[in-house]
Structure 1
């Protein structure tokens, strides 16, 4: 805590600290999109953001800190969870959101860089786990609504249904290297829904 009672790095919202944070985060995402985690360099982030590299080193420590901060910020952002009126439509929408996140020409390289960072850094891995936990919690509402409508058994674990639905995408993207498209996403959603309806995920 500082003398003013504010935590360092969060003083004067909207002031210089906030502007520096936003500039460095934007530069980090741009560098990840262009060069991946392996090519993420403090000097490049500093040059792109207009923030002196000593400030970047002092506040973020290194590439791992930059990635962790970007993930923590992303976890706090709202996610456009679908509300189609049915468990089938909602689950399909959630899985397609994940698919788009990895295949979008602009956001896809960043999403892949986050996963690559987590494989190489414990700090990034912890931040990615926090990001996934936040996303699962946000998306679990589609399962809660389905339970309330009587489409799924009481006690169905919403986060587990979401994990089951998106897992095939991650397997193809990061393990087997098999193609991933909307048909794959829809099958994954259908399989998770079938398991939930059968009471497997309670």
Structure 2
């Protein structure tokens, strides 16, 4: 039980900070567009990465020279493109979307979510390397992994479906414009950190 609680606490703390993936989930939740598939993609991806880390996959970044560098470059390029797209939406004045209105198809939403998840090197560093390393201190390691996976499911479902409580605020174009601006700048800041900050 102690291992499961430790896994939950560490897993939750690692995904709590606002990032590109969380900003996208929040946006989808506010739009009420494809929320279940998006949160499932995030949570299941995290679960797969946590399982890989606990199973010892974290050594791959050390075993393959240059892998981390190219992960950073590809992740940064994607974030720059997506950030520019979001900032363009903010420049155009934001969009008010009523419940059920969808700005993108399910296919597009899932692909964007997968890219924001799997092209982000910090996801690997947090879930695979860090959680994998810490899990070695606990027995059974499976309990630690299940705790961390539970944290991911709890967080993403709360973020995606809990965003509905903010819906009245986002009934105004200015609020959407502000959110788009925040999301776009967040993605560019993360891209800059990937390229120059390490």
**Who wins on radius of gyration, i.e. which is larger?**
1
Greater helix content: 2
